[in-house]
Chains A and B, each alone.
Chain A
Amino acid sequence: MRALRVFSFGLLVGWRDLAVFWNWKTWTLGWILRVCAVAGSWILLGKLLQSEELIEFLLIGNAIAAGASAAAWAIPASTWDRVDGTYPLLLISPGSIFPAIVGRTAVWMVNGVLTSVVAFCVLSFAFDYSIEHASYWEVGLTIITVCTSTYCFAVFLGAWITLLPKLRNVALGLVATAITTVCGVSVPISFWPSPVQVVAFALPVTNGLEGFRALVSNDMGNQFAILLTNEIVVGAGWFLLGVLLMDVIANRGRRDGSVEFM
């Protein structure tokens, strides 16, 4: 009960953080426009090559990756309690700091889901694309799963980045680049050598995206279910590691004084 109350207040702090960056006008006319412009420039390659398959590949990949990149904003958000000076105070409160940190950062996962949904709709309309072999709930399920697992990965990286908080935006940039490069967004996974493919499947996005592509292009419902489950397992793994790491880093910070830097 206490954890739920703390989580809800954390969520409120996160919501106010988000409101510092965007209001509904800047979110739609700034953020979404930018996301769609970037994704659209990739999809135009398919148009230029007059390949419907390529258009579908790039549209699905970029619309879903846009949400994943937005969810990765939880990495810098993990350091904001340090910036605010509230981190040591959270640490010495009798309960766990975990619901507070997760509450504050989870807003970016929600932002990721909304980003992907809107981008998917806008891009489908702009490029006259209609989805086959998949229902809208399957699209929604894929987006939610991918954004959630990316958020879980961000919690893990966010725990690390509290050791080097000045690099928080660099970390966000690297994750966004890694997602679009090796996770099968614009370049097929099969393009990469096997070791890179192994890494890619241990990262968020890859499994969910591959599963959805299997469903859309070949109507392979089983493959979709398996890969989506894999995506959940990958996310849960990173989340668990993130929770453990957060605790280790907090204890280490109490010993060496890094708990209060920034």
Chain B
Amino acid sequence: MTIEVGEVRGLLGPNGAGKTTLIKILSTILLPTSGTAHIGGFDIVREVREVRRRIGIVLGGDRGLYWNLTGRQNLAYWAALYGVSNKKAKERIEVLLAQVNLLDRADDLVGAYSRGMKQRLHLARGLVADPMVLFLDEPTSGMDPIAAREFRSLVGDLRREGKTILLTTHDMSEAESICDRVALINHGSLIAIESPSTLSKLIAEFEHIEFEKVGASDLMHEVSRIPGVSRIYALDKEGAYCVNVSEKTAISLVLERLIASGVVSIRTNRPSLEEVYVHLLGENRGRASESPV
């Protein structure tokens, strides 16, 4: 797997797929048991110092910050650890605090920050030494939707600055919205590298519609005849059904037909990551054996 300079690469996979382990190996926290990896041309095992000078890492969750220091002090500490001079650090910290929208809370103790604020401070911490490569490990996990959207917008800013970013997530829509390309991994193996548009197509292909049927006994027959509907089945004995589609255009046709028939309880669901995986694994079976990450 090669990531181009300035690219935002998503690493998508279910829990336990090996996303975080890969990030920790690339960031030199862990040593690999086998295989090789290079960052900016430097080997992550043999040229650790050179690699460390060029990377920043943001781990998801609350940990990794000093809660009894202020946001500004945290950044100053990490700047010292990365050998950023005092003068440069002061300027850089102001810029970063403004960028992550924490200037007005910069002198508050981190323990008093919300989850979203801590995560933004994490991002600023990861950027304090102006790294060439940034690793983001599930940076929006546990965030409320608004904080997650703000965070994604920050990643968008970094992409425009030309940073190379490797981001892990198990949220397909997150990968779709901020990544240039997405690598799908499972059980430590690379399954596919797709563009967000392909991912979007996959998501659409496996979108399904759930509804509760009322009256019109021939409704099921009519829906099943709509082009692009691949399957229709009962979810329970109370009249709840699910429609699977294989083409995005079929969704609106099915919805129109259901509404016209007086169905008011309708829900469209995006496919789970597992469903996309099952599909991709099926496609890959015919190809050569899986490439190790």
Contact = CB atoms under 8 A, between A and B. Distances in A.
* Chains A and B belong together in one complex: yes
A93 B82 contact: yes
B224 interface: no
A260 B63 CA distance: 11
Contacts of B28: 92, 254
Interface stretch (B66-74, B94-102, B201-209): B66-74
Chain B interface category by residue count: 20 to 34
A247 interface: no
A2 B49 CA distance: 16
Nearest to A19: B68
Nearest to B27: A92
A213 B28 CA distance: 51
5 contacts: A2-B80, A9-B77, A84-B65, A85-B62, A260-B24
A86 B64 contact: yes
Nearest to A83: B63
Given A92-B29, A92-B57, A84 B81 contact: no
Given A85-B61, A89-B57, 15 more contacts: A5-B80, A6-B77, A9-B76, A9-B77, A20-B68, A84-B65, A85-B63, A89-B64, A91-B29, A92-B57, A94-B81, A94-B82, A100-B81, A254-B31, A260-B29
B29 A84 contact: no
Contacts of B78: 89, 93
B24 A95 contact: no
Nearest to B50: A94
A86 B65 contact: yes
Interface of B: 24, 27-31, 49, 52-53, 55, 57, 59, 61-69, 73, 76-78, 80-83, 86
B253 to A, nearest CB: 50
A6 B69 CA distance: 14
Nearest to B79: A5
A214 interface: no
B85 to A, nearest CB: 9
Contact of B29 (A13, A19, A88): A88
A90 B80 CA distance: 11
A90 B30 contact: no
Given A91-B29, A254-B31, A85 B64 contact: yes
A9 B73 contact: yes
A259 interface: yes
Contacts of A16: 66, 68-69
Contacts of A45: none
A5 B59 CA distance: 25
B195 to A, nearest CB: 31
Chain A interface category by residue count: 20 to 34
A12 interface: yes
A25 interface: no
Interface in A74-92: 84-86, 88-92
A259 B67 contact: no
Contact of A13 (B24, B55, B66): B66
The 4 A-B residue pairs with the shortest CB-CB distance, nearest first, are: A85-B63, A16-B68, A93-B81, A5-B80
A84 B83 contact: no
Interface string A1-25: 0100110010011001101100000
A19 B63 CA distance: 20
Nearest to A262: B63
A2 B129 CA distance: 14
B75 to A, nearest CB: 11
Given A93-B81, A260-B29, A13 B69 contact: yes
Nearest to B83: A2
A195 interface: no
A13 B24 CA distance: 25
Contacts of A17: 68
Contacts of A92: 27-29, 52, 55, 57
Contacts of B57: 89, 92
Contacts of A85: 59, 61-65
Contacts of A86: 63-66
A188 to B, nearest CB: 43
Given A13-B69, A86-B65, A86-B66, A6 B80 contact: yes
A193 interface: no
A17 to B, nearest CB: 7
Contacts of A2: 80, 83
